Structure 1
Amino acid sequence: MVKSSLFKNTVLLYLLKFSTVFFSMITIPLQARVLGVSYYGELGIATALMTYFTLFIDFGFTISATGLVSKNRNNPIYITELFWSVSVIKLLISVVSIIFLWIYLILLRVESSFYPLYIWFLIAILINGFLPDFVFRGLEKMQSFTYRTIFIRLIFTLLLFIFLKTKEDLNLIPVATLIGNALALVWALIDLNRIVNVFKYFRFNFKLISEIFLDSVQFFISRIVSVIYSSAGIFILGVLDPSKVEVGYYSFAFRIAQMVFSIYSPIADSLYPYLIRTKDLNIIYKILKITIPALIIISIICFIFIKELTVLIFGIEYIGAIDIIISLIPSMILMFPNYLLGFPALSAINREKYANISIFLSFTVYVLLLLVLWICHRINPISLGYLFSLTTIIEVIFRALIIKKYS
């Protein structure tokens, strides 16, 4: 029964991620062709910045609150209090986020014509932040969550194909995201009220707010650090390359890598609440024995035909991103075991703190080597790609050694 639930949730999450890849394969070429390298570079910078705001409003609740819901799945009163307490914290974070964005736009002297791009993106991100997905994940009720997210992406894709015609339509991208997120929030709250009746038992207490805030801080810090070194390359190139051509190539290549990473997360996401309950670490070993050889074979095939695939799917304009994509291939292979050996596996042996420590370790290595590249005047899209792959290797090795030691 338990494994049947795990399988169902994994399939649903894979359906979710398949939709991510499917819609990305449709929308990324459209955006790239219509916007051109320069505007696409500005979009890449805005998207990278919004990644930080997404993590800020999430504040680690995807991990901490999901675990609390899983442990208290039979206590609807507690889940209701948790939901409203998290919402109060996110409301305060939203206010701070607006202030931070204003400071960013002024201090970095972002061209005023791009202000709407950033503002609409932030509103969309804040709306998305109030989605109570941690409740659905903790209760392992992923069906509605999956259908809702697919619906959002369908709306977003349709709006882009209908209205995105020239690079002057750049602001349509965050507006389309906002519309989809707003509809999803209404849907999610209706569904959540049906399951837990959160509006009938509107309640929260300051003690719980304080507890979950402090509990989430460690997860927030580790996730924000992880994103800093994964998206830092876009910001660095954005500063060094006024033409935005190099940052356009790099952001394009990194979005391809992120699209690959998104394929891996369904298994990790479904295993996390499952392993909190069962502590069945053997299932991870079985999964890795099957998937790692397959990933290596697929990567070799993609490496051989990378030029043809890039030109066919994205156009000749992005042929300059090929070497950057190649530099990210090691990370595309190893990110899967890295996900599984992170919070899912370490939770099974009660060593979650080492997931955070591994992130801090890889971040330290990233910063030190980035400094070396700076001194040697070797910062470019390709070197940053290999640097990201190296930090992924270090992270997965560290986690594997910890699991071997304590399991």
Structure 2
Amino acid sequence: MTILQVMNSFFYILIYPYVINTVGVDHYGLFVFATSIATYFMVFINFGFDMHAAKLVSLKQEDSQLHASLLSSVTVAKLVLEALAIIVFVLIVLNVEFLRSNALLFFLCFANTLSCIFLPTWYFHGLQKMKVLTLIQLSFKLLSLPLIYFSIKGEGDIAIYTAIVVFTNVLSSSVSFAVAVKMSGVALKWPVFSDLRTLLHEVQPFFWSTATNTFKQKSVEIIIGSFFGMKELAIYDLANKIFSVPSLLASNINAALFPIMVKKAKKNVVSKVIRIEFFVGLLCILSVVVGGYWVVDLV
């Protein structure tokens, strides 16, 4: 799972030199800026479902009825949140001159929120079958490579690049959702409104935790883009991409152990995991210190 996710993250570093040299640093920085704003809405639409629903699935991995019920409830709840997000986003774009002047790019990036609706990461996580999801996402990214290389010809093509990225994400999410429904083996039914309200109440703590962390990370990108320029934002984005590859080594330990720890958490195991992650974290930092310069130079 770690190898596949590292390859998945490495995908954007792979195409980075071609894209940034073709569309230009400033245009690419604008894409990163628009993506950062869209991420706020993606967190709102995900609303902490991934952690809570993964926990429920991991506790009852053989309960197909529960799986189908969660697939229905989470998807419909996200559709409702998507509708609210669209209204807010349109109002913001109409009232902010900078966003309005680049409306096409910002709306294309916002369209990526559709991938949140149909991406059942929590389902595969709870079943401990993240490899299936990662293979689907990686396959679609690799298929998009020819489209990117043959479609992007100049600075005016940043919108085309954005459309390809968003379309790939939405399509891979839709396929993942179809696979999840097939794996559950039970037909989906329209959920009861009271169940949706209960679900939204239960996942609120997870939402605030995720929202706080995302706000901290993405606000840095918004500040850099607003006060220093899109070129500087593009450079910062490259640094984040390079950092994300080794950092997956640490984060995947948690992802792999989560379903098991939900069932039977042991203090000595948690302590051991923390010690291992501490040394893995140091290894990640060391890899960036030693190899970071050469990676940036190569790109």
TM-score between both structures, scaled by the size of structure 2: 0.89
Residue aligning to 1:393:
none
Residue aligning to 1:364:
none
Q: Which has the higher contact order (CA 8 A, sep 6+)?
A: 2
* Whole-Å separation in 1 of the counterparts to 2:231 and 2:190: 51
Residue aligning to 1:107:
95
Residue aligning to 1:81:
69
Secondary structure of the residue that 2:111 maps to in structure 1? Answer: helix
User: Is 1:90 equivalent to 2:71 in the alignment?
Assistant: no
Residues 114-134 of structure 1: per-residue CA shift (max 9 Å, x gap): 222121222232134322222
User: Is 1:229 equivalent to 2:216 in the alignment?
Assistant: yes
Residue aligning to 2:55:
67
Residue aligning to 2:263:
277
* Whole-Å separation in 2 of the counterparts to 1:175 and 1:301: 34
Name the CA shift for 1:172/1:293 in 2 (closer, same or farther; >3 Å): same
Residue aligning to 1:395:
none
CA RMSD of aligned residues (A): 2.4
User: Is 1:205 equivalent to 2:192 in the alignment?
Assistant: yes
Q: Which amino acid letter does the alignment assign opposite residue 268 of structure 1?
A: N
Q: Are the aligned partners of 2:10 and 2:245 in contact in 1 as well (CA < 8 Å)?
A: no
Residue identity (%): 22
Secondary structure of the residue that 1:73 maps to in structure 2? Answer: coil
2:227 aligned to 240, 248, 261, which one? 240
Q: Which amino acid letter does the alignment assign opposite residue 121 of structure 2?
A: D
Q: Are the aligned partners of 1:58 and 1:90 in contact in 2 as well (CA < 8 Å)?
A: yes
Residue aligning to 2:149:
161
Q: Are the aligned partners of 2:6 and 2:245 in contact in 1 as well (CA < 8 Å)?
A: no
Secondary structure of the residue that 2:153 maps to in structure 1? Answer: coil
Which structure has the bigger radius of gyration?
1
Q: Which amino acid letter does the alignment assign opposite residue 43 of structure 1?
A: F
* Whole-Å separation in 2 of the counterparts to 1:251 and 1:18: 17
> Per-residue deviation at 1:68?
1.4
Q: Which amino acid letter does the alignment assign opposite residue 210 of structure 1?
A: R
Residue aligning to 2:6:
18
* Whole-Å separation in 2 of the counterparts to 1:159 and 1:295: 36
> Per-residue deviation at 1:162?
2.3
Q: Which amino acid letter does the alignment assign opposite residue 99 of structure 1?
A: I
Residue aligning to 2:128:
140
Q: Which amino acid letter does the alignment assign opposite residue 65 of structure 2?
A: I
2:253 aligned to 267, 275, 279, which one? 267
* Whole-Å separation in 1 of the counterparts to 2:72 and 2:143: 28
- 1:6-405 counterparts in 2 under 5 A? 12=1, 14-110=2-98, 112=100, 114-198=102-186, 200-241=187-228, 243-290=229-276, 292-293=278-279, 295-296=281-282, 299-300=285-286, 302-304=288-290, 306-311=292-297, 313-314=298-299
> Per-residue deviation at 1:99?
1.6
* Structure 1: unaligned runs, 5 residues or longer: 1-11, 315-407
Q: Which amino acid letter does the alignment assign opposite residue 98 of structure 2?
A: V
* Whole-Å separation in 1 of the counterparts to 2:119 and 2:251: 19
* Whole-Å separation in 2 of the counterparts to 1:171 and 1:97: 22
> Per-residue deviation at 1:105?
1.8
Name the CA shift for 1:77/1:103 in 2 (closer, same or farther; >3 Å): same
> Per-residue deviation at 1:25?
2.1
Residues 54-81 of structure 1: per-residue CA shift (max 9 Å, x gap): 2111110110111112223232222222
* Whole-Å separation in 1 of the counterparts to 2:74 and 2:277: 36
> Per-residue deviation at 1:267?
1.8
* Whole-Å separation in 2 of the counterparts to 1:151 and 1:282: 39
Q: Are the aligned partners of 1:84 and 1:203 in contact in 2 as well (CA < 8 Å)?
A: yes
Q: Which amino acid letter does the alignment assign opposite residue 73 of structure 1?
A: Q
Secondary structure of the residue that 2:24 maps to in structure 1? Answer: helix
TM-score between both structures, scaled by the size of structure 1: 0.67
Name the CA shift for 1:208/1:287 in 2 (closer, same or farther; >3 Å): same
